[in-house]
Structures are given as C-alpha cells and as structure tokens.
C-alpha cells in the first residue's frame, strides 16, 4: 500500500523530470535548427558573422540530390518527433487535443521564418512539411503506446519520463561541453 506522502512527492519528481526534458529538448531544438551555423553571441555581436538567406517555396524541389534530401528529411522528422511525443503525453485525455498537432507546425514556421529574417539559413517548405510530419508521428506514437498499455498508463508515463530525462541529461551534457560539430562528425 502506498504512503500518502509518497504520491505527491513522486508526482513532483516526475513533473520536474518532465519539465527538465522539455527544457533540454527546447534548447537542443534551437541549437540544431536555429543556431546550427552561428551562435547567439555571434548573431548579436559579430559584424562578420555567417550570412545566408534563401527561400525554397516548392517542397522537395531539389529531389535530384535524393540521398542527401532523404537524410535531411529524416533528420527533420526525427528532430520534431519528441515535440509531438511530449505534447501528446501532456494532452492525453483532454478535449480538442487534436489542436495541439498545430504546435509543431507553428514552431517549425517560426524557426524557418527566423532563419530567413536573421539571415542564418533558408526558409524551406520541405523542412516545414517534414518537421510537422515528425511532430505528428511523435504525437500518435504516444497514442499507440497508450493503447497498448491502457491499463498501466501511470507506469507507462513514469517509465517514459525517466527514460526521456536520462536522454535529456545526455543531451544537456553535449550541449554544455560545446558545439564543435567536427568532433561529433567523427562518430557519425
């Protein structure tokens, strides 16, 4: 039998772990999508920083380079998968939760527009499509898990939250040690 004091303490710990994961994911998303070529201090203070501005309005128009395009599409979908998954975990059982599927689209549009406006990348509609698709797949992936483990939702959420926070801790570690991507490319 559970002690009444343990339940609120356990819920607080799980809530903290979930929020930790969400914050680390948000930092990682910004680093990997918005600040992949330039850091925030360079963006704000360096007059000779990286400048690039382009628009690709026709999705997948550069399909000639199919292997690179396929890899880029997969990377974009994978990058937004956690967003959909985290949203689905928080909205399960709520009314009109389908509206939350718009959040990956809104986030993707915002980041793509900022890349263009700040001259730090390309506004690419293929990225928007794949980012949104990745968020939707993440959203429905949690729903599938919920169907499979419907009688054990509390345990499922506990296991998922702990696992995601461990991954978040690893991501935070890499985020904090720096962003010299040439070092990471040696391993991938």
Rg (alpha carbons) of the chain, rounded to whole number: 19
| Residue 57 pLDDT | 77
For the chain, the maximum distance between any two Cα atoms, rounded to a whole number of angstroms, is 64
pLDDT of 155 > 90? The answer is: yes
Instruction: Out of 6-20, 24-38, 73-87, give the one with best mean pLDDT.
Output: 73-87
Q: State pTM to two decimals.
A: 0.82
The tens digit of pLDDT for each residue in 48-59 reads: 776 777 788 777
Domain boundaries, the chain: 47-148, 153-188
Residue 55, strand partner residues: 123
The tens digit of pLDDT for each residue in 24-43 reads: 999 889 888 887 877 777 77
For residues 90 and 4, which has the higher predicted lDDT (pLDDT)?
Answer: 90
């Amino acid at each position: 039998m559970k002690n009444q004091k343990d339940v609120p303490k356990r819920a607080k710990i799980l809530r903290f772990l979930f929020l930790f994961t969400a914050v680390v994911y948000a930092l990682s998303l910004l680093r990997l999508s918005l600040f992949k070529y330039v850091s925030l201090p360079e963006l704000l203070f360096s007059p000779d920083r990286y400048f690039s501005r382009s628009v690709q309005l026709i999705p997948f128009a550069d399909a000639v380079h199919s292997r690179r395009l396929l890899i880029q599409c997969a990377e974009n979908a994978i990058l937004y998968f956690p967003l959909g998954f985290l949203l689905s975990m928080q909205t399960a059982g709520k009314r009109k939760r389908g509206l939350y599927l718009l959040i990956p689209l809104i986030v993707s549009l915002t980041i793509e527009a900022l890349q263009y406006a700040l001259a730090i990348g390309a506004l690419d509609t293929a990225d928007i499509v794949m980012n949104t698709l990745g968020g939707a797949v993440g959203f429905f992936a949690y729903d599938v898990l919920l169907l499979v483990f419907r009688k054990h939702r509390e345990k499922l959420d506990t296991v998922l939250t702990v696992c995601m926070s461990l991954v978040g801790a690893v991501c935070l570690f890499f985020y904090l040690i720096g962003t010299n991507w040439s070092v990471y490319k040696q391993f991938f």
